[in-house]
Structure 1
Amino acid sequence: MNKTVLVLRHLQFENLGILEQELIHQGYTIEYVEAPLANFSQLDAIKPDLLIVLGGPIGVYEEAIYPFLQSELQFIQTRLASKKPILGICLGAQLMARVLGAKVYATGKKEIGYAPLILTEQGQKSVLALLNETPVLHWHGDQFEIPAGAQHLAKTTVCDYQAFQYQQFALGLQFHLEADAEAIELWLVGHACELAQAKINIAEIREQAKTYGEALKKAGIAVFRAWQQEVGL
């Protein structure tokens, strides 16, 4: 019987990236759900073997502007209560943190581009140690705090809270472990307004993707496989 992964997506190009072919190779059946259009009452939060919640350019605190967030938060809450594996990336991790009672807020600055993580003592003992100072893609202006009962795994010079593990089944990553450097042009076009407003050097990100993309793909897949082993997938 094939294992299944349900993926909550907020933007078409912020997809599973390097993890997609890995999951297909492992025999998973992947189902994408477009979160802004989803009828969450018709979806089963518990049945899939794995739930992955991807990124997006909105804030978890913007329910009044984007009402679907209320239903998505409830869906994630149901999944967390089941103690079945869940991986949250960027907005996905922020949604998880919010459900777990942690504060999520705008930092007033953008962290966009490739840079290595600074692992905490707990992070050095976690699957993130496999990144081994490999630069990862950062793309956010909001930040979560670490939920009560969760382990703080990583930070950067710009953002104090980059990753957390909650019990053994939930991993939240502020950074984009999944991003495929070969598809970076989609990110540069899709987030053109944000990049212009933040005065980000687009050519620099493009060059970083060429420089670090292959190493990040290798390390990212290694991290994902190690996490799968930890959670019994």
Structure 2
Amino acid sequence: MSFRTDQSRVVVPFASRRPAAITPRDQNLDQMSAQVSLRPVLIVLHRETSTPGRVGNALRALGYRLDIRRPRFGDALPATLDGHAGAVIFGGPMSANDGDDYVRREIDWIAVPLREQRPFLGICLGAQMLARQLGAKVAPHPQGRVEVGYYPVRPTEAGRALCPDWPARVYHWHGEGFQLPAGADLLASGDDFPVQAFQFGNAFGLQFHPDVTYAMMHRWTARGCARMDSPGAQPGHLHFAERAVHDAAERAWLKHFIDGWIARVPQRQLLQAAE
């Protein structure tokens, strides 16, 4: 079942500073926001050895605990996100089109953060699952091309308004892409896979991998060398050469993005907490 709402049509920039004049109501909401932020962030991973990488590092640096679950290996997902500040579904070697029970359960579960308007982030496979939940098609490139390595992304006007200073190239590792879901805002586009980032209310999907650390890149290029023989893939040595050029910009962008994303606590949730 797909979950849709008209609330996705307004792109609100991530806040970069506090307002000049703070009212008592603002102070009360700030206190409630701090209480909400003490809740952990739900992290969904797909392999026994997977880690949340730099996204996890960025969240920990902001003071968040991580509630790591692996539904593929039997971990349950919560019926509500009342006990969490937000949720992130990461990538994996499987497809959002697979018929495995845990894949279908994860796609269906995304209705929870959408319904509750909690901060949600899908990265690569997670973004494809979000697209599927919203009724969009996920499929391989028609010519069998992949993005494995660094490729350019072009932020849209909405993407620049939301989060400035996008990197020129970002790290990818995927062979499938997705359509832009109905009602979503395109934040960044690409060449072989046109939809690279989108927003639907407080939910965001990123086709690329800003979460990948240097150690993760070593593991992926060593264990996933078969994927690097696919059309469009970059050879392993270029992954590290391009990282030396583009990683600082991608890392800075990710920090700004995570800072703004996790702060998107629904106003109604803060008002309820204040009562």
TMscore range, shorter length: 0.7 to 0.9
Whole-Å separation in 2 of the counterparts to 1:43 and 1:189: 35
Match of 2:26 in 1: none
Alignment of 1:28-107 (within 5 A): 28-40=64-76, 43-46=78-81, 47-63=83-99, 66-107=100-141
**Bigger relative contact order, structure 1 or 2 (CA pairs below 8 A, ≥6 apart):** 2
Q: Deviations over 1:20-40 (max 9, x none)?
A: 222112221102112311343
> Which residue identity does 2:162 align to in structure 1?
S
- The answer as to whether partners of 2:79 and 2:112 remain within 8 angstroms in 1 is no
Match of 1:170 in 2: 203
SS in 2 for 1:137: strand
- Farther-moved stretch of structure 1 (100-109 vs 189-198): 189-198
Alignment of 1:1-233 (within 5 A): 2-12=38-48, 14-40=50-76, 43-46=78-81, 47-63=83-99, 66-107=100-141, 108-127=144-163, 129-131=164-166, 133-167=167-201, 169-198=202-231, 200-231=234-265
The Cα shift of 1:58 comes to 1.6
The Cα shift of 1:3 comes to 2.3
Q: Unaligned 5+ residue runs, structure 2?
A: 1-34, 271-275
Q: Which has the larger radius of gyration?
A: 2
- The answer as to whether partners of 1:14 and 1:54 remain within 8 angstroms in 2 is no
Match of 2:32 in 1: none
The Cα shift of 1:121 comes to 2.3
Q: Unaligned 5+ residue runs, structure 1?
A: none
Identity %: 28
Q: Deviations over 1:47-79 (max 9, x none)?
A: 31110000112211111xx22111111211222
Query: CA RMSD for the aligned pairs?
Result: 2.1
How many residue pairs align between the two structures? Answer: 227
Give the TM-score, by structure 1 length.
0.88
> Which residue identity does 1:172 align to in structure 2?
G
Which structure is higher in strand share?
1
Whole-Å separation in 2 of the counterparts to 1:150 and 1:120: 13
